[in-house]
């Protein structure tokens, strides 16, 4: 056993020697490389739709020299983050060995060993991917920093770029936000409180969790005592000092706004006008579509509605259908827990939110609001004698002909598949492509029931063509980009292409109001009837349900909002889970429209309204228990003598 220990020690010593030797070689090489500009490197500033700064990836509004930062803050940071800062060359080898040992004993990566130089190197990057390539880049940048800059300059840069929570990057901004004073005037108690925040701003901000922040403060003060920066008496006085926070909670929680920021950075990667070299050496200002009020409301509605189920995940986007500007986005419940951005990265089965695309195609091919199919259990036979037997939700069928309006209101699956087969399975695929959906859609019988997987931003953009009266727009978050001198280097171009008939989009939008219309209560209920008491404005709305996913997507002329809920591991949803996306959608739309007049579409000249029995689609007759104005292209109004389309299908087959 002793031999193995000796061998292990020798091996470790050799590896350590080699590591130091390689570092010295790299250090010498780094000395010959061009000097990095640390005060503007990777300075990415993002502004919302009112030109208010909401995120800084690196760099700050105010750069403070070490002379203008409280010694308490400096000593607390060194004591907490890197007590050997002044004696190493970027890497604390003893700390690395200790952390490896602790992690090995615990069987997890609970102990970190990053130095201030390494953390500052991370702050100079735009992403925090945990890949070997990323770690190697970090190590090389750390060596470059140590080769070109003094310890004081590195520490100064670190303190001016670190995240202190609530959108405050840099100690001067943080000092003014939390205590309304300059960083040079911080007391020991205030300095220890601020030093504790960067480890996890969402947990250790005193505005988020004061008790946890207070425990973190005391832990930092204890380290300062242990490392000889303060006395026990000074620690006790600081612990007992009552702090007054003047900073208000930011309008948007950084945890969730980071999903928006993440989506912006992903879009930035696609813009050729902005070279990576400019970001790395000069910095940029990005002006986005973000509406902080809408983002805040969306975040709060998600939090409130999903409080009963901590495992459900969510994605949501809000878009201006006239321009394609995405002004609110949620890629999950909490960025500090999961950085996976479901709004831009995931594809999920869309369920019945595919049906409006099908029904637009049907209107384009001669269907009207009154076109009927029989709603009953049906087995479809297609190529190679294969069969398909879709079911209506809850096993509810009319057992009689129903109108297109009723089929939309109830989300009748039989009617949808019959329409799909009647038109030809390629028609839905082609129509989806026309409105901008690029997902791989297969012309199969189940396609209108949403068995295909599509990204939520893509679906929102597709629905924007309906909301924009037939004009397709390109979804985007970035409106304009400038360099740090204020010179414009990119401007979003609003492109819209008319791909749909505006008369038919008006009819479809009217039909999508039936999903919460009590007039349609008959042998079943409209799918979103429970939302009716919440809705004070007119909206087009469709929900979609699969075993693992639930969607709600709807619009008016001003906004398209899409909400998805489900589990990351694709486990089945419970019946009670389906309410969440609908309630999030309704609450968010109502918040957006609060104090605004109802926004809806003017009736086109070539469209007429007819009073009908909405279930059958026939013209209203005296004695009918139900009546509703439905809309038709002029000349296609119902007469009451229209055939049931099942009969036409059978005639064509013969």
The catalytic residues are 81, 352
Query: How far is Cα 467 from Cα 436, in angstroms, rounded to an integer?
Result: 14
Q: How far, in Å, are 313, 330, 352, 408, 469 from residue 568 at the CA level?
A: 7, 15, 20, 29, 35
Query: 314 in helix, strand or coil?
Result: strand
Alpha-carbon gap, residue 506 to 629, rounded angstroms = 14
DSSP per residue, 242-253: PP---PPPPSS-
Separation between Cα atoms, residue 214 and residue 84, nearest integer Å: 25
Q: E strands of 417-523, at which residues?
A: 453-454, 471-473, 478-483, 488-491, 496-498
Cα 1 from Cα 619, distance rounded (Å)? 94
Q: What does the alpha-carbon distance between residue 493 and residue 490 come to, in Å, rounded to a whole number? A: 9
209 C-beta neighbours (distance < 10 Å), count? 15
Tokens encoding 224: 């300062």
Q: How many CB atoms lie within 10 A of CB 251?
A: 15
- 19's enclosing H/E stretch is helix 2-31
Tokens representing 205 are 């901000």
Strands (DSSP E) along 486-643, which ranges? 488-491, 496-498, 540-545, 549-555, 560-566, 607-612, 628-633
Other C-beta atoms within 10 Å of 591: how many? 15
User: CA 220, 222, 226, 231: dihedral to nearest 10 degrees?
Assistant: 110
The partner residues of 640 in beta bridges, in order of sequence, read: none
**How crowded is residue 106: how many other Cβ atoms within 10 Å of its Cβ?**
10
Q: How far is Cα of residue 493 from the mean position of the Cα atoms in its chain?
A: 23
Contacts of 621 (CB under 8 A, 6+ apart): 613
Q: Whole-angstrom Cα distance, residue 434 to residue 465?
A: 10
* Tokens 């000889």, located at residue: 228
Number of residues assigned to the chain? 654
- Short-list 419, 462, 426, 422, CA closest to 444: 426
What's the CA gap between 130 and 345, in Å, rounded?
Answer: 17
- Farthest CA pair distance, the chain: 102
Per DSSP, the residues of 200-261 read -HHHH-TTT-HHHHHHHHHHHHHHHHHTTSS-HHHHHHHHHPPP---PPPPSS-HHHHHHHH
């Amino acid at each position: 056993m002793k031999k193995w220990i000796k061998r292990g020690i020798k091996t470790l010593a050799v590896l350590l020697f080699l590591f130091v030797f390689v570092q010295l070689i790299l250090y010498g090489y780094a000395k010959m490389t061009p000097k990095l500009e640390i005060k503007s490197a990777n300075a990415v500033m993002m502004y919302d739709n009112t030109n208010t700064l909401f995120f800084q990836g690196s760099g700050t509004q105010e750069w403070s020299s070490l002379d203008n930062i409280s010694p308490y803050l400096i000593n607390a940071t060194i004591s907490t983050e890197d007590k050997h800062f002044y004696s190493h060359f970027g890497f604390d080898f003893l700390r690395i060995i200790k952390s490896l040992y602790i992690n090995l004993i615990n069987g997890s990566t609970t102990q970190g060993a990053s130095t201030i130089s390494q953390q500052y190197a991370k702050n100079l990057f735009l992403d925090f991917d945990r890949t070997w390539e990323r770690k190697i880049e970090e190590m090389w940048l750390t060596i470059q920093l140590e080769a070109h800059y003094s310890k004081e300059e590195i520490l100064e840069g670190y303190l001016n770029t670190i995240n202190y929570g609530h959108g405050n990057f840099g100690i001067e901004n943080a000092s003014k936000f939390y205590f309304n004073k300059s960083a040079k005037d911080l007391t020991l108690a205030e300095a220890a409180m601020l030093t504790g925040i960067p480890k996890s701003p969402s947990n250790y901000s005193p505005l988020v969790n004061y008790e946890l922040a207070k425990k973190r403060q005391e832990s930092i003060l204890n380290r300062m005592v242990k490392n000889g920066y303060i006395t026990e008496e000074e620690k006790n006085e600081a612990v007992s000092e009552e702090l007054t926070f003047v900073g208000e909670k930011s309008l948007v929680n950084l945890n969730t706004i980071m999903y928006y920021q993440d989506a912006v950075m992903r879009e930035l990667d696609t813009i050729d006008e902005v070279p990576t070299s400019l970001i790395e050496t000069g910095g940029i200002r990005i002006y986005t579509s973000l509406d902080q009020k809408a983002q805040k409301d969306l975040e709060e509605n998600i939090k409130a509605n999903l409080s009963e189920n901590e495992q459900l995940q969510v994605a949501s986007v809000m878009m201006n259908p006239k321009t394609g500007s995405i002004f609110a986005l949620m890629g999950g419940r909490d960025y500090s827990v999961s950085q996976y951005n479901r709004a831009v990265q995931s594809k999920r089965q869309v369920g019945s939110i595919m049906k409006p695309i099908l029904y637009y195609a049907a209107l384009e091919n001669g269907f009207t609001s009154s076109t009927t199919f029989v709603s009953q259990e049906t087995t479809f036979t297609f190529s190679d004698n294969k069969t398909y037997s879709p079911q209506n939700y809850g096993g509810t069928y009319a057992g009689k002909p129903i109108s297109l309006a009723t089929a939309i209101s109830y989300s009748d699956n039989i009617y949808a598949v019959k329409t799909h087969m009647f038109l030809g399975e390629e028609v839905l695929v082609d129509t989806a492509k026309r409105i901008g959906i690029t997902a791989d859609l297969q012309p199969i019988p189940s396609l209108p029931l949403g068995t295909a997987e599509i990204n939520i931003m893509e679906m929102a953009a597709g629905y924007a063509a309906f909301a924009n009266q037939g004009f397709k727009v390109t979804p985007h978050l970035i409106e304009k980009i400038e360099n740090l001198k204020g010179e414009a280097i990119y401007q979003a171009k609003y492109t819209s292409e008319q791909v749909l008939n505006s008369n038919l989009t008006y009819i479809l939008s009217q039909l999508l109001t039936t999903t919460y219309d009590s007039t349609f209560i008959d042998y079943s209920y409209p799918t979103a009837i429970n939302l009716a008491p919440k809705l004070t404005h007119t909206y087009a709305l469709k929900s979609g349900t699969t075993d693992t996913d639930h969607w709600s997507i709807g619009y008016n002329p001003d906004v398209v909002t899409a909400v998805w809920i489900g589990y990351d591991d694709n486990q089945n949803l419970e019946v009670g889970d389906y309410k969440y996306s609908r309630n999030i959608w309704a609450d968010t739309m109502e918040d957006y429209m609060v104090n605004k007049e109802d926004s809806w579409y003017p009736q086109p000249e070539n469209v007429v309204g007819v009073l009908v029995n909405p279930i059958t689609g026939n013209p209203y007759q005296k004695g009918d228990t139900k009546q509703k104005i439905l809309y038709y292209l002029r000349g296609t109004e119902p007469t009451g003598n229209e055939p049931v389309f099942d009969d036409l299908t059978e005639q064509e087959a013969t």
